[in-house]
Amino acid sequence: MTGRPVVSAPTDETALEAFVFRAGQLVEWWHVPRGGYGFGYWVPAVVIGDNGTDNPERRVKIEAQRKDGSWRVRHVYARNLRDAEFAAPAVGVPERDSR
d(CA 66, CA 45): 10
Q: Is residue 91 part of a domain?
A: no
Q: Which of 36, 89, 46 is nearest to 71 (CA)?
A: 46
Q: Is residue 46 part of a domain?
A: yes
Tens of pLDDT, residues 18-29: 567 888 999 999
Identify whether the C-beta of residue 63 lies closer than 8 Å to the C-beta of residue 48: yes
Q: Is residue 97 part of a domain?
A: no
Q: Is residue 21 part of a domain?
A: yes
Give the dihedral sign, CA 71/72/75/80.
negative
Structurally, the chain folds into a number of domains equal to 1
Q: Is residue 51 part of a domain?
A: yes
Tens of pLDDT, residues 58-71: 889 999 988 898 99
pLDDT on residue 12: 53
- Answer whether 0.75 is exceeded by the pTM: no
